Each structure stands twice: as structure tokens, then as C-alpha cells.
Amino acid sequence: MLALQNIVQPTQSNRAVYLMQSFIDILQKPTVFANRNVLSPHFVPIQLPFRERELEKIMVCVSPALQGSRPRNIFLYGKTGTGKTACVRRVMSKFEALGSKAKVAYVNCRIYNSRYKVLQKALKGFLPEIEKSGFGITFMYEKMLDWIATDGKFLILALDEVDMVKDLDELVYSLTRSNDEIPKGGISIIGISNNLSFKDRLDSRSKSALFETELVFAPYNTQQLAEILLQRSVEGFKQGVVSESAVSLAAAAAANETGDARYALRLLLRAGEIADERLAPDATSTALKVTDKEVDAARRAVDEDVAKEAICTLPEHQQLVLLSVANLTLAGGSRYAKLSEENNDGFLFSGEVYEEYLHLCKVHAGEPRSARWYREYLHDLEMLGLITMIDSGKGVRGHTRFIKIGFSAPEIKSIIERNIQEKNFAREIADVEGASG
């Protein structure tokens, strides 16, 4: 037990004493966690159950680099949370442990999303001079070739979420061309993606290079997710605090979504946090605390966070369409339905939502998009679960669509209005900077 009087000198102000005490209180609060890090999405466990075949295939694919020949490129795809990143990370650490002269460089292309940024990030791990920004792409490229050519080394680039690279054709072309330019050694690519639609955008040469070998990651089923969760909860939580049925419930919920292990782990972590909030200050660590109730509450909280994240990444006009739905819902529902006394169960008419959207455009965004785009936006919002739609069929006011909000209208309104405010603020700053520079 930390004794406050031993840490705080009598000369310090009362405020400092108070702040110090609140940290000590926080650190001494009872908790269900043994090691929260184990439940983080970035943690890579030593064992990856149900991925033995995939791990083996990636290892077989990269192993020629250890014997002096160039590995084939390999492309991994599958839905999010199917263990692609974890498998590549695991193979990389095994590979590095061998201490060979071949290198594997990992780049998350969601963050490093251009040929320049990818090369800079990948190379600076072993060519520190690249760290200084301002070098042109040709310089980096030459440096990379020099490094490879010196005793014929191999470089394996793991490009995670590779579909995010804006000039992917150019990147793949630069990398594959290097192999023709160097007599010994070479470059290989491990491409990773959740989303295959980008394949159609690639030119045929980079497509065939990138997809030299393919490996599909299937979604996990309930039993598999339960085992993954169990493995993590043994390390992540104190003994005996998580009920078996809570693990099964979280696994079933995640399997019901898309078989996403990341979502399953997020549920379990949040359930643990909720259990912590509910713990009495004198709670013992061995009593059962994470139960079905905490998982249910976690599910609501996580789904809300997911919806918020989805709203914040929507383009501006889709946010305005969604804000129109929220505004009309908050104003008491459909005006048309009231006029015609049709009982529409909280559904709005697509036409009145469009009118509200036109009005919001006048206030916030200038030029509105056409009705055709509006229908596309509705479709996108429905895919994200932010609205639901039903078709009126023929008869009711011709052919129209009814729209209902999929998540709390006041929440949606406040999130989007905040986004608009921030955007206006950013614009004002840009204007001021533009005017002064």
C-alpha cells in the first residue's frame, strides 16, 4: 500500500496533494483485469488457434528468402477480424528470430497511403538516413536497390490494407521492376486486404504481380471465437472473474455479425470495463464479475461506438442526409403521414427527407446533390445499419420509400452537428492561413 505522506513533501500545495491522491485512488481501485494489454486488438498471441494452415502457408511462401531465392508474392484476404494481420505479425517475429540477412518490413497502408510514404516507412527501419524527409522517390529507390545488391539480400514487404494506397499500380510496378534490375537478391510483397473491390481498379500487370499466390481467411464460427476469447481471457482477466457463459455470449454475438475476432475481443474488454465500474471498492478479485449482463451492456456500448465511428467517416453529403432523417424524427415524425393520416410506424417518406436535405444544404454545404445521388446515399446509409428502408410498393403515393432511423436520433444529430462545426472551423483556419500566406 502506498502511503501518501511518504510521497508528498509537506511543502507541496494542497492541489498537488489532491491530484496525487486521485491517481493513487485510481491505481488502487479493484479491477477484474490481470493484464488489459492482452485484450487489446494490437496484441499478437503466441498461439493462433484455427490458423495453423494459414501460418504454414505464409511461412512456406517466404522461406525461399532464407535459402537465397526470391519468394513469390502472396496476397491474403478475408473479412476484418479474421486474423490476417496477427498471422503476418507472428510469421514476421519467427522470421526475425532467425537473424537472417533477409528483412521483412511491415507497413500499415491505412496510415502510409501512397507509394512515397510506403517506401519511406518500409526502408527507414534498416536505412536510417531515409528518416529525414525531403528525399525524392528516386533517391529512396536507389538506396533500396543498393541495400539489396550488397550481397544479394531479400526484402519482403508486408503491405497491410494495401487497397488504401492511392497510387498502388505505381508502387507495385516500382517494386516488381526492381527485381529485373538487380542480379542477386530481390523484393517480394505480402499484400493484405479486407476488401477485394480494388482489384478491378488495378492494371493487369500489377494485378498479376500482386496476386501471384492467394490465401483466403474464412470468418470464425461461434466455437472458434469462444476458444479465442477463452485463451485471451485466461491471460487478460484475474482467475475466476469471467463466466463461461459470458464468453459464449460474446462469441455468439460476434459470429452473428461477421465472425470478427476483433469485435469479439472488443466486447470482452468492454464487458470487463463495465464490470470494473460496477465493482465495490472492497471487492475481492475471485468473485464472478463478468457475466451475461456485462456482455449485454458491452454490446450496446460497442455497437454505439461502432455507429459513431461509421458516422464520422461518412462523406459530408451522406452525413447531411442522415441529419435530415434525425431532424424529421426529432420534429415528431412524418409530416406527410400526419396530413394523410397514414399509419406509418415512425417511417418518414423519402421525399420529405430529400426536402429537408435540400434545406440543410442551403444552410451548410452549398450545392445539393441530385436525387439520383440521394438514392445512392440512402442505400449506403442502409448498408451501414444507420437507417432502415421499406418500399411502399405501388399504391401509396405512387412508388416511394419509407425511411426509419437505425440509431438514437438525438445522438446522431449531436455527432453530425459537431462534425459540421469542426469542419467549418477548419475551413476558417484554412481561409485565414490562405489569406496570410
Size of the site for Mg ion (CB under 5 A): 1
Site stretch for ligand ADP (CB under 6 A), options 39-47, 105-113, 135-143, 378-386:
39-47
Q: Output the smallest distance, CB 222 to ligand ADP, in A.
A: 14
Between 82 and 318, name the residue whose CB sits nearer to ligand ADP: 82
Cα separation, 271 vs 295, in Å, equals: 5
Q: Is 109 in the site for ligand ADP (CB under 6 A)?
A: no
Between 65 and 87, name the residue whose CB sits nearer to ligand ADP: 87
The values of phi and psi at residue 317, to 5°, are -70, -30
Between 3 and 46, name the residue whose CB sits nearer to ligand ADP: 46
The values of phi and psi at residue 105, to 5°, are -115, 130
Q: Is 55 in the site for ligand ADP (CB under 6 A)?
A: no
Q: Output the smallest distance, CB 81 to Mg ion, in A.
A: 8
Q: Is 108 in the site for ligand ADP (CB under 6 A)?
A: no
Q: Which residue is nearest to Mg ion (CB)?
A: 85
Cα separation, 109 vs 114, in Å, equals: 8
Q: Is 49 in the site for ligand ADP (CB under 6 A)?
A: yes
Q: Output the smallest distance, CB 191 to ligand ADP, in A.
A: 13
Cα separation, 26 vs 429, in Å, equals: 39
Between 217 and 347, name the residue whose CB sits nearer to Mg ion: 217
Residue 41 near which of Mg ion, ligand ADP, none (CB within 5-8 Å, type-dependent)? ligand ADP
Q: Is 228 in the site for ligand ADP (CB under 6 A)?
A: yes
CA 151 to chain centre: 39
Q: Is 84 in the site for ligand ADP (CB under 6 A)?
A: yes
Q: Is 81 in the site for ligand ADP (CB under 6 A)?
A: yes
| Contacts for 275 with CB less than 8 Å, ≥ 6 apart | 32, 241, 289, 290, 294
Residue 81 near which of ligand ADP, Mg ion, none (CB within 5-8 Å, type-dependent)? ligand ADP
Residue 210 corresponds to which cell in the numbers above?
A: 500482386
Cell 460474446 found at: 250
Q: Is 266 in the site for ligand ADP (CB under 6 A)?
A: no
Picking from 294, 290, 293, 229, the residue whose alpha carbon sits closest to that of residue 255 is 229
Helices 261-278 and 222-236: crossing angle, nearest 10°?
40
Q: Is 346 in the site for ligand ADP (CB under 6 A)?
A: no
Identify whether the C-beta of residue 291 lies closer than 8 Å to the C-beta of residue 244.
no
DSSP 363: I
* Candidate list 44, 137, 182, 306; residue touching ligand ADP; CB under 6 A: 44
H or E stretch at 401: strand 401-405
In the chain, what is the greatest distance between 2 CA atoms, to the nearest angstrom?
82
* Candidate list 85, 233, 318, 319; residue touching Mg ion; CB under 5 A: 85
Cα separation, 225 vs 232, in Å, equals: 11
Q: Output the smallest distance, CB 248 to ligand ADP, in A.
A: 17
DSSP 203: -
Q: Provide the binding-site residues for ligand ADP, judged by CB under 6 A.
A: 41, 43-45, 48-51, 80-86, 228, 261-262, 265
Q: Provide the binding-site residues for Mg ion, judged by CB under 5 A.
A: 85
